[in-house]
Every structure is written in C-alpha cells, then in structure tokens.
Amino acid sequence: MGWKILIMSLVLVMVLPFTACGEGVESPSAQEIVDGATQALDDIRTYEFEMDTTLDMAGEVEGEAFEMTMGIVSSSALDLDNRQIELNMAVNVALPEEDEIGMTVEAYLIDNIGYAMMDFPGTDPTWEKEEVSEADWEEVIEVISLAESQVELLETAEVEVIGSEKVKGVDCYVLQVTPDMAQLWETVMQQATLGFGGEIGWPALTEEILDKASYSFSVKQWIAKDTYFLTKVEIDMAIELTAEAMGVEEGEASIDSAMTMLMYNYNQPVSIELPPEAEEA
C-alpha cells in the first residue's frame, strides 16, 4: 500500500498549489471593468491602431435596384503628449458591372500643422497643410481616438463579461456590449471613415431613420487585464430600411457592416516622420 500513498501524496503536492492560487480570486464585475477602462484613458500617452471595415448595401428605391460594397482599411499612430498623429486610410468601392474605385488618404499632424493628401479618382493627389488650433486639435482627437470613443460606448451601454482571451499576447476580459443603436451607428461612421464620411459616401442614418428601421447588432470589446487598456473591438450590424424610413413612396434596403479594430503599443515610443513632399506643400 506504500506506493499508493506515495502517488496520492505526489498528486496532492501538485494540485494544492493551483487550488490555493484560485481560492479567493474573483474576476472583477462588468462595472468594475468599465470603471477601470474609463480611468485608464488618463494613462494613455501613445498608441497605434489598425481598423478593417466592410459595408454592404443593397435594395430598391422607386423601382430602381442598387448594390454597393465598400471596404475601408486604416492605421494610425498617436502621440498625445507631443501632439503628433500619422494616419493612413484606403477605401475601395465596388459596384455591379463597374470597375472598382479606389481612394487613399494620408495625413499628419506635427507641430500644430496639419498635412493631408487625398487621392480620389479624377483628381491629382496634392498635399495641403494648415495650422491647427486648440479647438481643431480637440475635434481631431475626438474623431481619431478610437480608444476614448469606444470606452464612451461602455459608459451608457449594458455590459456583460463573457470570458477571457489573449490579444497579441495580452490577457484580456471579453465584454459583450449593448449600446444605443443611434449612438453605435454614429460612432461606427465616425471611426470607420475617420471623419471623411461625406467624401467617401458612407450612409448617414439619423436617429429618426433608425427608429423606423429594424436592426440587429453585436459589439464585443477586449480589455487588458493588467492595464484596462482597450485592445480589440468587433462590431457587426444588420439594418433593414423600409420605404417609410427612407422617405420614399416605394422601396427597401439592407445595410450590413462589420468592423474590427486592434489597439496596441500603448505608451511605447512612436516614430512619426513627415514625408518630404508634405513638407513642401
């Protein structure tokens, strides 16, 4: 019987430390994570992000059918202390039986000067620059700062902790978020287009229109366990618009959108260099 006692002793020695580590350790509540993410915004000095968005529209208005697919890929680096931003965005629009249309935007903000180059079909890409006031800076940050805008969604939404996952090697809490639909659409429109919604044809859906539409959506956020920094966001939406919602006599339309964001390199050194052609603008 000695060998059985020995084996049981070895098993207990291996298991007890893991049991002890788990005892008394409780995961924070959804509200505690929201509070932690909100407070962590003040600790952010630099970060980078990548964003990938698709938008599919189809329908028929007054007997005329339409269909469009839009893809937007963007990346940015932000240095809040030094007030520097680098932004790159590529937009592709596909229409049935037509060539795909591509557009690009490249922009910088350095030493209170904004530089931007927009390459749209039928135009010559040229750099423009202008001074950026304090009010301009606040407006730019409101649009560009994905972390702050997404955390603001948390503050007024229903939030549920649904698990834990790693994102780029970072342990994260996974949150299911249920915000107000009108606020969600406005946030997605601003962030997907980074303020260029009117130029690239992103649909503007007011709260009045959405009140007459049917829709479904899913919003997930990943919050780092150690810093409470936002690391990932996934948003999927499906919207069905009636003729009444669109303000027409006859018709219907559907809009499907999917967005993925990744935020990383928080508080790490950021290298933002202005291209020579931008300096000469």
- Where do we find the tokens 């970072």? 170
Cα dihedral across residues 265, 77, 154, 163: positive or negative: negative
Neighbours of 111 (CB within 10 A): 10
How many angstroms separate the CA atoms of 46 and 272, rounded? 12
Q: Is 256 contained in some domain? A: yes
Cα 110 from chain centre: 24
User: Per-residue confidence at 84, pLDDT binned at 50, 70, 90?
Assistant: very high
**Residue recorded with tokens 């007459």:** 212
The dihedral built from the CA positions of residue 134, 127, 53 and 77, taken in this order, carries a sign that is negative
Q: Say whether 6 sits in a helix, a strand or coil.
A: helix
Amino acid at 124: D
Whether 157 is covered by a domain: the verdict is yes
* Region 100-127 average pLDDT: 90
Dihedral angle over CA of 193, 197, 200, 204, nearest 10: 120
Confidence of residue 144 (pLDDT cuts 50, 70, 90): confident
The whole-number pLDDT of residue 199 equals 65
Q: What percent of the chain has pLDDT over 70?
A: 89
Q: What pLDDT is stored for residue 149 in this prediction?
A: 85
Residue 275 · residue 107 · CB < 8 Å: no
Measured in whole angstroms, the distance separating CA 95 from the mean position of its chain's CA atoms is: 25
In sequence order, the β-bridge partners of residue 50 are: 75, 262
pLDDT digits (tens, 9 = 90+) for 17-41: 333 333 445 789 999 999 999 999 9
Residue 45 burial (CB < 10 Å; 0-12/13-18/19+)? middle
pLDDT, mean of residues 82-110: 91
Q: Does residue 2 sit within a domain?
A: no
Phi/psi for 48 (5° steps) reads -125, 155
- CATH code (residue 85): 2.50.20.20
Within a domain: residue 64?
yes
Banded pLDDT at 198 (limits 50, 70, 90)? low
What domain range is 44 assigned to?
29-279
Structure tokens at 117: 């180059």
Q: Tell me the angle at which helices 146-156 and 181-193 cross, rounded to the nearest 10 degrees.
A: 180
Lowest mean pLDDT across 1-10, 97-106, 139-148, 193-202: 1-10
Mean pLDDT taken over the chain: 85
Whole-model pTM: value is 0.84
Taking alpha carbons only, the member of 156, 158, 222, 161 closest to residue 186 is: 156
Mean pLDDT across 113-140: 89
Number of structural domains found in the chain: 1
- Decide if pLDDT at 70 tops 60: yes
Instruction: Kindly state whether residue 18 falls inside one of the protein's structural domains.
Output: no
> Looking at the domain assignment, is residue 13 inside a domain?
no
Q: How confident is the model at residue 13 (pLDDT cuts 50, 70, 90)?
A: very low
Question: How many CA atoms does the CB half-sphere of 143 hold within 13 Å?
Answer: 15
Residue at 6 is within a domain = no
Better-scored residue on pLDDT, 166 or 140: 166
